[in-house]
């Protein structure tokens, strides 16, 4: 299979070009195994396996595992020994896509080509491991609403308190604004709360469940949509269906609990319905926030954390009080 992965417009430091290793053995299709082995013995390479095969224009044609090259007849041309090349990436492909492609196809090194499919070299194993670690660390920081990224987790711990505040505060200010709006929403339903104080008892549990469901969807979206493995419509309907099923199960479980805690039948039904609706909406928000930011050219991980949480909380409160107004 020859699956070339299109490049993303990324800073050079975050592309395949930044990790390119061109000291790898290569030869033309017409060369013999003897000529290839002679090149291996007289030149120094960073990686000696496999032996890459190119055509007369330097375009990647295939590869020969070095162990098979050693066992081949010395007069056998490389064209008769080579296997189809593994999936390749353009030199401007985002580094995270390169690492995920290597994992998906079990590649020790990923071949890199230019716009005319000329073979440039490979992204070596140590670079792939480093990229996966850096991207994982960066996503964790963004999930928690922290700006910037660190090369290692210990660097974040070594920062001064003021620097830590600078990394964390911006998104939390968005959260503060959202909490003020949430308080205003609660104040708008003051009459219902005064008439039936039990309505307020179930707000924390409903909000928590919606946040938890949304966080799960965010994790799915950040990894899935960043790779564009499936169309949005398919992923969205799948997540909405998942959220509806989760909300249904949790809502049915919450209804008898609400009755045991002294809520009337109407309020218990409102709690169950709100959990069902909020769970479904939370899955949609958790998926769409990263997708929208991805379309804007931002890392989809920025769609998680305090911002998505604020939106989910506000929507959950509105859904719950709407259910109370209709059923309680």
Give the per-residue pLDDT at 298: 59
Report the distance separating Cα 196 and Cα 328, nearest Å: 9
Mind listing the pLDDT tens digit for each residue in 175-221?
A: 788 888 888 888 888 888 887 888 989 999 999 998 888 887 777 66
The arithmetic mean of pLDDT across residues 158-184, rounded, is 78
pLDDT, tens digit, 9 for 90 and up, residues 52-84: 999 999 999 999 999 999 999 999 999 999 999
CA 215 – CA 203 distance, rounded (Å)? 18
- For the cut 60, the answer to whether the pLDDT of residue 144 exceeds it is no
Helices assigned H by DSSP within the chain? 33-42, 66-71, 78-81, 95-104, 125-143, 153-158, 161-188, 190-195, 198-201, 203-227, 232-260, 265-295, 306-327
What integer pLDDT is reported at residue 206 of this predicted model?
A: 92
Helix (H, G, I), strand (E, B) or coil at 111: strand
**Which residue would you say has higher pLDDT here, 211 or 140?**
211
pLDDT at 280 over 70: yes
Residue of 301, 325, 308, 260 lying closest to 135 (CA atoms) = 301
**pTM of this prediction?**
0.57
pLDDT at 149: 46
Mean pLDDT of 272-298: 81
23-53: per-residue pLDDT in tens? 999 999 999 999 999 988 888 898 889 999 9
Sorted by where each starts, the structural domains of the chain and their CATH numbers stand as 4-131 (3.10.580.10), 159-327 (1.10.357.20)
Q: What would the two tokens of residue 318 be?
A: 């509105």
pLDDT tens readout for residues 100-121: 888 888 888 999 999 888 999 9
């Amino acid at each position: 299979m020859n699956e070339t992965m299109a490049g993303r417009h990324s800073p050079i430091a975050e592309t395949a070009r930044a990790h390119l290793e061109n000291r790898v053995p290569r030869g033309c299709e017409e060369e013999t195994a003897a000529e290839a082995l002679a090149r291996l013995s007289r030149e120094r390479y960073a990686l000696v396996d496999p032996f890459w095969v190119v055509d007369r224009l330097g375009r990647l044609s295939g590869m020969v595992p070095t162990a098979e090259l050693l066992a081949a007849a010395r007069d056998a041309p490389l064209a008769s020994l080579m296997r189809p090349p593994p999936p390749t990436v353009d030199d401007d492909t985002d580094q995270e896509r390169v690492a995920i492609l290597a994992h998906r196809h079990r590649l020790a090194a990923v071949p890199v080509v230019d716009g005319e499919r000329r073979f440039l070299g490979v992204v070596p194993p140590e670079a792939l491991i480093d990229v996966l670690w850096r991207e994982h660390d960066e996503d964790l920081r963004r999930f928690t609403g922290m700006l910037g990224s660190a090369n290692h987790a210990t660097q974040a711990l070594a920062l001064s308190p003021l620097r830590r505040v600078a990394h964390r505060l911006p998104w939390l200010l968005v959260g503060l604004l959202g909490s003020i709006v949430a308080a205003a929403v609660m104040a708008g339903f003051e009459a219902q709360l005064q008439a039936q104080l039990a309505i307020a008892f179930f707000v924390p549990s409903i909000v928590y469940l919606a946040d938890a469901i949304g966080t799960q969807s965010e994790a799915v979206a950040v990894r899935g949509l960043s790779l564009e493995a499936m169309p949005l419509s398919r992923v969205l309907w799948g997540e909405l269906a998942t959220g509806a099923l989760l909300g249904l199960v949790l809502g049915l479980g919450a209804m008898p609990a609400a009755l045991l805690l002294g809520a009337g039948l109407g309020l218990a039904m409102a709690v169950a319905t709100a959990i069902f609706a909020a769970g479904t909406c939370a899955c949609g928000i958790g998926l769409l926030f990263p997708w929208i930011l991805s379309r804007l050219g931002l890392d989809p991980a920025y769609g998680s954390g305090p911002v998505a949480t604020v939106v989910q909380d506000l929507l959950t409160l509105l859904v719950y009080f709407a259910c109370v107004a209709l059923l309680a």
